[in-house]
Structure 1
Amino acid sequence: MTEVQGTVAAGFEPVLHAFRAGFTERGDVGAAVTVYRDGRPVVDLWAGHAEADASGTDARPWQRETAQIVRSATKGPAAAVLHLLHQRGRIDLDAPVGTYWPEFKARGKERVLVRHLLAHRAGLPVLDTPLTPEQARDGASGPAALAAQAPLWEPGTAHGYHAHTYGWLLGEVVARATGRSLGRWFAEEIAAPVGLDLWIGLPDAEAHRVGRVAPVTAPEPPASAGLKVRPKPAVARAHQDPTSVTRRAFTVIDPLPDENDPAYRAAEHPASAGVATAHALARFYAALLGPVDDVGRGPGTRLYAPATLALARTEESAGPDRVLLVRTRFGSGYMLHGPSSPLLSPSSFGHPGRGGSLAFADPEHGLGFGYVTCGLQRSVTSDPRPQALVRALRGCL
């Protein structure tokens, strides 16, 4: 049996039981979960090993400081950069993107607003010509391609998940408005003051802490469960169709980069390549709500003013998603609680990472939640492992 390490506060023991069941029943091989409540950690657990593709004597055990690539869970921290710049009067979310990035005003994009980028309404989830992994890392090719790209729909009239292009869009606005890259701004203005082991562009000095992600197979439910075989959902079929918007949105980098490549982790991909501990993700979302406090650290920094918090979680997009092919809900840069992305309560906002990671804030209960795994399963917005943890947490409240 996998040994679980860490601590849980009294009353949160069901989260421990659900976390342990992730290894015995849901195929986890290495993972961590942290929950903050009212600025203090009440759950901080880890177990398994840090490399999903290692075993036996080659398996490095997961430690409290182990970090992993968290895929699209990066989008929430990236959105915070724009919100804080808006809060400080440096970026107007209602301004056209071309105000900051003049080259962007081409091919029908003159009226794209900054808030459209955050809410996946810009009509730019794909590129006519995908980028190579080298181009995706160079910091210039992605923005240049998007400046020249025509939108798939009239911006602002519909939404579709910008799986990769989200990062180049937000990153270029930040760079033009501040003279700093989004990853650097995050490191200096958010991660350092709050004390986060969370990077958008992994420094060489932290590379030794990062495990390896790899696909793992979720166990089949027992026959006694009586579950019927369901037809393959539309999004799964679309991923197999090279002409579909879904497939094109997830393959704007071709071939897909190796997520364990140090060069990929070190490059700034604000949409998909953040590296974090579960503790850092939970602490980040807790800090959006109010000051965070750890034993020995003292009270921390509250990131969002009340008006910014309300803005971040106000619904901007809802209904059929032209990329994910399900009904999705987005605020400004964050997924909102809904059938396709269930979080803790209707007040929750955050972001999953395809394959398993999940992080969110819940203002109603004063919670910040973070789950990180090295074993990537076939999930996009609703992985069964963190969902079991969320259900257990809901029962504790």
Structure 2
Amino acid sequence: MAGQAAVSGRVAPGWEAVRDAFAEGQADDPGAAQLAVHHHGQLVVDLAAAGRRPAEGAPFGPESVGVLMSATKGLVAVCAHLLSQRGVLDLDAPVARYWPEFGVAGKSGTTVADLLTHRAGLPAFSSGGVGVGLPGLYDWDARVAALAAMRPVWEPGSAYLYHALTFGHLVGEVVRRAAGMSVGAFFAAEVAGPLGLDLWIGLPPEEEHRFVPQFSVRPAPSPAQIAGFIEGLGLSPDDGLHAALRASAAELAAVTDGLTTCRGRSAELPGAGGIGNARSLSRLYAALTGPVDGERLLSPLTVDRARAPRNDDVAPPPPLDGGDGSGRTRFGLGFELPRPGLPMLGEGSFGHAGAGGRLGMARPESGLAVGYVCTAMSWEPAAGPDLRWTGWTDAVRAAAQAQG
């Protein structure tokens, strides 16, 4: 039998195989991790593995909180759908209806849905290739003003490509204009507060004592390596998309460094800077698809709209549009959908992963919601999360099927 990591926490009767699979999956992981599962609104798995590398700060357990990376995008999408459900935000409307300054430089027809599906053509805050660094990335007003004035790299709506950081500011500014408060404040007041979640877009100083930092298993790629990789995709150095992708990578590296500081964690960086734990991530997704202690966030109609495929018939911009498309990320309105390499909980699942292996997801048909948060950061997907997820996702699905 393969080795197992030391695991704390609890599982409900019938879910013991999930604990075993989680322990086995974490055996070779130097970092700490949490796994939580809700089934029909009830918390049935709440586990933590301390990892081989001692955690800095407070001892690691189910109450600890850590960086969510791009799993934060799911929190932002929830805000947009909640406002849409209330009739405050039309996801098919032009962004300029809510954010008039945005409707220039070829963006007058860009819709809120284009922002949610990474089709806006604005993958970086800077078009010059160098990227915006710190502390500039903490300046919300300056960043959204730059995005509003920028000309898209491709015609909005005609193609899609992952907006690693700008997604959070683009959708977050629409939320701010529609709701009259920042996306972090809206999430705290309308989502986290009513559900009692330990999830934040901007960590309050009084919660710093619970934070456990992430660390890199391998160094992040250098700017030269990134440039070489982009050129290997067929983009010439003088191509605007080449420059935007270099800038995006530099900005993501800067934000990752910033999240090692109190200032970075307290900032609203809704593309990748959320802080929380697996229990709350799972509880959030459970409340999207059914009642949790009497609270349900989204109606079945809203959930079905959110998880309907939106980019299966749209390719990345040339020359990145080659191949059969089997490895492409699939999106609904703000949420990732199952694909080869990320089967999630089966067809009908929706959620969002984050760099290094973070993951929040749900599948209404099986009543399942899952949160996974970890501290070991790997920039090579094949070297990390797939190996950790495979066993326990299979065990979660099997346990739910047995429970009925």
Identity %: 41
Match of 1:237 among 229, 235, 240: 229
Q: Distance in 2 between matches of 1:239 and 1:205?
A: 45
What residue is the counterpart of 2:91 in the other structure?
Answer: 93
Counterpart of 1:66? 64
Contact 2:350 2:361 in 1 (8 A): yes
Question: Quick check: which one's helix share is greater?
Answer: 2
- CA deviations 1:22-49 (Å, max 9, x no partner) are 3323x24211100000000111101216
**Cα distance between partner residues in 1 of 2:388 and 2:343:** 13
Secondary structure at the counterpart of residue 364 of structure 1: helix
Separation in 1, partners of 2:315, 2:381:
16
For 1:189, the equivalent position in structure 2 comes to: 190
Encode CA deviations 1:57-78: one digit per residue, 9 max, x unaligned. Answer: x674212210001100000011
Separation in structure 1 between the aligned mates of residue 69 and residue 297 of structure 2, nearest angstrom: 23
Call closer, same or farther: CA 1:314–1:14 in 2, change over 3 Å.
same
Flag the 1:111–1:364 CA change in 2: closer, same or farther, 3 A.
Answer: same
| Structure 1: segments with no counterpart, 5+ residues | 219-233, 293-298
The question of 1:359 aligning with 2:360 is answered yes
Q: In structure 1, what is the equivalent of residue 268 of structure 2?
A: 268
Q: 1:254 Cα shift? A: 6.8
Deviation string, structure 1 residues 70-95 (Cα, Å, up to 9, x no partner): 10000001101010001111111111
CA distance in 1, matches of 2:353, 2:231: 18
Which residue type is aligned with residue 258 of structure 1? G
- Aligned counterpart, 2:289: 289
Q: Distance in 2 between the 1:280 and 1:356 partners? A: 16
* 3-state SS of paired residue (1:77): helix
Look up the SS of the partner of 1:338 in the other structure. Answer: coil
Shift of 1:3: 2.5
Of 277, 301, 305, which aligns to 2:295? Answer: 301
Work out which of the residue numbers 4, 8, 14 in structure 2 matches 1:5: 8
Q: Is the 2:41–2:287 Cα contact (8 Å) retained in structure 1? A: yes
Query: C-alpha distance in 2, partners of 1:216/1:71?
Result: 16
Deviation at 1:377, TM superposition (A): 2.0
CA contact (8 A) 2:164 2:252 kept: no
Amino acid at match of 2:6: E
Range that drifts further, 303-312 or 248-257? 248-257
Question: How many residue pairs get matched?
Answer: 371
Residue identity opposite 2:117 in structure 1: A
Question: What's the counterpart of residue 225 of structure 1?
Answer: none
Q: Which range moved further: 260-269 or 13-22?
A: 13-22
State the match for 1:35 in structure 2.
Answer: 37
Q: 1 CA distance for matches of 2:373 and 2:351?
A: 14
**Counterparts in 2 of 1:339-378, with a 5 A limit?**
339-378=340-379
The answer (yes or no) to whether the contact 1:53–1:213 under 8 Å persists in 2 is: no
Gaps of 5+ in 2: 220-225
The answer to whether residue 309 in structure 2 is matched with residue 315 in structure 1 is yes
Post-superposition shift, 1:287?
Answer: 0.3
Asked if structure 2 preserves the Cα contact closer than 8 Å seen for 1:98 and 1:105, the reply is: yes
2: CA distance between counterparts of 1:313 and 1:36? Answer: 19
Mapped partners of 1:371, 1:255: distance in 2? 24
Q: SS at the partner of 2:46?
A: strand
Structure 2 equivalent of residue 175 of structure 1: 176
Between the aligned partners of 2:350 and 2:88, the Cα distance in structure 1 is: 24
Query: In the TM superposition, what is the alpha-carbon distance from 1:53 to its structure 2 partner?
Result: 6.4
Q: Distance in 2 between matches of 1:373 and 1:123?
A: 31
Check conservation: 2:58, 2:209, Cα contact below 8 A.
Answer: no
Structure 1 residues 367 and 252: alpha-carbon distance in aligned structure 2, compared to 1, 3 A threshold? same
Q: Residue 268 of structure 1 aligns to which amino acid in structure 2?
A: E
Mean CA deviation greater in 358-367 or 254-263: 254-263
Distance 1:187 1:261, change over 3 A: same
Mapped partners of 1:379, 1:290: distance in 2 = 35
Q: 2:27 aligns with which of 24, 27, 32?
A: 24
Change (3 A) 1:123 1:33: same
Structure 1 residue 246: Cα displacement? 4.1
Give the match's secondary structure for 1:42. Answer: strand
Structure 1 residue 104 corresponds to structure 2 residue 102: yes
Deviations 1:223-254 (A, max 9, x none): xxxxxxxxxxx999339999535443332357
> Cα gap change, 1:132/1:193 in structure 2, threshold over 3 Å: closer, same or farther?
same
SS at match of 1:300: coil
Is the contact between residue 37 and residue 368 of structure 2 (CA under 8 Å) also seen in structure 1?
Answer: yes
- Secondary structure class of the residue paired with 1:281: helix
Q: Which amino acid aligns with 1:164?
A: L
Residues 114-135 of structure 1: CA distance to partner in whole angstroms, max 9, x if unpaired?
Answer: 0110011111112314222212
Q: Which amino acid aligns with 1:363?
A: P
| Alignment match, 2:136 | 135
Root-mean-square deviation (CA), in Å? 2.6
For 2:387, the equivalent position in structure 1 comes to: 384
Aligned to 1:230: none
Shift of 1:217: 5.6
